């Protein structure tokens, strides 16, 4: 089974520029998450989609960050304009809806992609 794909893997931009990240979840996974992981910290949820609808975007800085999942599969996360403090790894994860997990029983298992490392100079 193919894992969560993300691109690009690395991006360096100057502050005030724009950047976009792409994520392709595991086939059949209706739930998709974007996390921000600042160096030395654990991942923090930015936004969660269920199919193409937003479930939770309470921690997304909406003045500069936006995300979409138009057809309920791939998703893009955009930052415009970028600030120095946006330097982080952006992780995408996907999961089956709760109650439909296989194998391990009723766990709430998220599968993570390799992430995109963003450096803002």
Check residue 54 for interaction with other proteins (CB under 8 A): no
**Single residue of 1, 2, 42, 71 touching other proteins by CB under 8 A:** 42
Check residue 43 for interaction with other proteins (CB under 8 A): yes
Check residue 112 for interaction with other proteins (CB under 8 A): yes
**Single residue of 1, 40, 102, 103 touching other proteins by CB under 8 A:** 40
Phi/psi-derived region of residue 99, left when phi > 0, alpha when psi is between -120 and 50, beta in every other case: left
Q: Which of residues 10-39 bind other proteins (CB under 8 A)?
A: 33
Reference 19, options 85, 89, 76, 78; nearest CA is 78
Check residue 99 for interaction with other proteins (CB under 8 A): no
Give residues in contact with other proteins (CB under 8 A): 4, 33, 40-45, 48, 55-56, 91, 93, 98, 104, 106-115
């Amino acid at each position: 089974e193919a894992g969560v794909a993300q691109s690009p893997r690395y991006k360096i931009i100057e502050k005030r520029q724009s950047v976009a990240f792409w994520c392709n979840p595991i086939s059949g996974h209706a739930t998709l998450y974007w996390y921000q992981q600042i160096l030395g910290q654990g991942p923090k949820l930015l936004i969660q989609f269920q199919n193409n609808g937003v479930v939770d975007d309470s921690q997304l800085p909406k003045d500069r960050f936006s995300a979409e999942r138009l057809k309920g599969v791939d998703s893009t996360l955009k930052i415009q304009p970028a600030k120095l403090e946006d330097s982080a790894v952006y992780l995408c994860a996907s999961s089956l809806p709760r109650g439909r997990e296989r194998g391990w029983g009723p766990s709430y298992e998220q599968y993570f992609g390799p992430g995109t490392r963003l450096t803002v100079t």
